[in-house]
Structure 1
Amino acid sequence: MRRESISGRGALRAAFSDTVSLADPGTLIPVRLNRTGVIAGAMYLALGLVWLVLAVPDNSWLVGSWLLIVAVIGALVPGEANQVSLARAYLAAPAFVYSLDRQFGFLAVAVAVAGLSDLVDGTVARRFARPSTFGGGLDPVVDGLFMGALCVGLALGGAFPVWLALVVIARYLLPALAGGLLLALGQRPDLRHTLMGQVSTTLILVLVGGVCLLRGLNQDSSGLVAAAEVVIPIATVATYVHLAWALARPARAAEAG
């Protein structure tokens, strides 16, 4: 058997190229100002401003700035399904406000709407026959924004362990960094949900949403929090292990070859 030395950059590129199918540049949707994004952004922003007037959260200008930033970015995002996914980025603002203020009834509604958008966006993509690699990459990003805002707000409000909120953030941060590294290396990965990612996101959403619902109903949520303290770290570690396995497998294959 002949072993060839591979540079660090080359090994990393080889690792990802064997485990992530690389998209044809022609399948990547160019990001530019588009009609769907502008219309959806205007609608979301209008709804957000109505919510700001009714809810009157502390530091309204910060919350409003977040909604405006998402609307501006959303105007550059193509596709109806991607606009449905972006709802979770907008909902990060009320999720943070309600969790911080311990308004668990409203928070449970925000979590339910976010979960519904996660279910619907794929259906919308298939309905308009435009599933894309861009959408596959956007989905986990908005999941991370929403879940991060929700868990940090709950932790700061004293309803959720701080360390567990940090675990949730880490769960979404590592894949995002890996994707960014791929792009920095000149790759164009075919980004899509993996089964592991879908399962872990669903578990986190159900557990955290359940805590919000029980708190909103003035019920004891300690059992569900205890379950979250076990399940969420396991799901996060499983994500890390899966990524490490994906990186290590091609390196071993290169040595064997």
Structure 2
Amino acid sequence: MLVRVGSPAGLGGLVGEALALLRGSPRLRRSLWFWLSTGLVLTEAFTIPLATLHDRGSVLPLALGAAGWWAAVSVFLVGGTSLLHTPDGTRIDRYGIPNGLSAIRAWFCFPLILCAALSLPGSLGLYLWCSVGGSTGMLDFVDGWIARRFGPITALGKALDPAMDVLFFAMAAVGNWLLGIAPGWLAAGILFRYLGPFLATPFIFLAGKRPELVHTVWGRRNTAAIGLVLFILMIVRLSSGPVNTVALVISLPLLVPTFVLHSIALVRRTAEAPRAG
């Protein structure tokens, strides 16, 4: 049943309402368990073969690490249940494909970084990174298209998408550097782009500001530009081309202007944000 909702007060209110909604809606619980079980199966099914190829003795600790990462990401999904409503306040009693795909993108961060960090036969790590990692990165655009075309568009999706971007692109920056796809300066720039605002958010909240935690227009464009740059560099790396030169030529005109405009929008949003009551 669809109902109108208000906004719970504070983090405690969000968590309390999330648990109450899950207790009161069997359909919502089924939707949650579907995505949680899908995420756990996919994460472990990717991690365990990688660990086996690397060193059989690492299977158990890496499988446990994957389970821990799955649990950490799942907290975002469970805690965000109270945000499952449309922009006009209509309650949604399912998580939906867009939110599920955003979560899968985050769950895959653990096995993907293993592709870059573990010693695997031949160039298997590079090939898996480019194929599976590239496909997983595309989910950032797929989930948004599905939400706009078929729904549901929810407050959870608007908050979850940028949060998952932080996790995925921070992991991608490190992995691409380890595999020689991105030079160190580019990886550091991508880390700063995503971790900077993420780490600054608690201080902004402590200062009493309450900016909306959603993408800016130029943030989306900058994310798309980063994805394009990394895709081109993957092709260059696979063909043994001049990664550093190509990175310099394409990154400066694509990433710097979009990052500057995104940063201006963030500063403006924070300055104009209301204060906590």
TM-score, normalization: structure 1?
0.72
State the aligned residue count: 227
C-alpha distance 129-179 of structure 1, shift in aligned 2 (>3 A): farther
Q: Could you tell me how far apart the structure 2 residues matched to 1:214 and 1:63 are?
A: 31
Work out whether residues 182 and 244 of structure 2, in 8 Å CA contact, stay in contact via their aligned partners in 1.
Answer: no
Structure 1 match to 2:89: none
CA RMSD of aligned residues (A): 3.3
C-alpha distance 63-218 of structure 1, shift in aligned 2 (>3 A): farther
Work out whether residues 147 and 168 of structure 1, in 8 Å CA contact, stay in contact via their aligned partners in 2.
Answer: yes
Work out whether residues 140 and 172 of structure 1, in 8 Å CA contact, stay in contact via their aligned partners in 2.
Answer: no
Partner secondary structure for residue 139 of structure 1: helix
Structure 2 match to 1:147: 169
Alignment of 1:1-257 (within 5 A): 25=7, 30-32=17-19, 33=22, 34-35=28-29, 36-56=31-51, 60=62, 61-78=64-81, 79-80=95-96, 81-100=98-117, 103-126=125-148, 129-177=151-199, 179-181=201-203, 183-184=205-206, 189-227=211-249, 229-230=251-252, 231-247=254-270
2:73 partner amino acid = V
Q: Could you tell me how far apart the structure 2 residues matched to 1:172 and 1:69 are?
A: 19
Q: Could you tell me how far apart the structure 2 residues matched to 1:64 and 1:188 are?
A: 33
Tell me by how many angstroms 1:151 deviates: 0.9
Q: Could you tell me how far apart the structure 2 residues matched to 1:43 and 1:161 are?
A: 34
C-alpha distance 202-173 of structure 1, shift in aligned 2 (>3 A): same
Question: Structure 1, residues 106-153: CA drift from partner, whole Å, max 9, x if none?
Answer: 112233322331122223334564322232121111111111111112
Q: Could you tell me how far apart the structure 1 residues matched to 2:157 and 2:243 are?
A: 35
Structure 1 segments (4+ residues) deviating >6 Å: none
Tell me by how many angstroms 1:229 deviates: 4.5
Task: Provide structure 1 residue ranges, at least 5 long, that are not aligned to the other structure.
Answer: 1-23, 252-257
C-alpha distance 184-126 of structure 1, shift in aligned 2 (>3 A): farther
C-alpha distance 188-202 of structure 1, shift in aligned 2 (>3 A): same
Q: Could you tell me how far apart the structure 2 residues matched to 1:191 and 1:172 are?
A: 13
Q: Which gives a bigger RCO, structure 1 or 2 (Cα 8 Å, sep 6+)?
A: 1
**Percent identical:** 25
**Relative to structure 2, which stretch is displaced further, 141-150 or 105-114?**
105-114
Q: Could you tell me how far apart the structure 1 residues matched to 2:269 and 2:211 are?
A: 14
**Relative to structure 2, which stretch is displaced further, 114-123 or 227-236?**
227-236
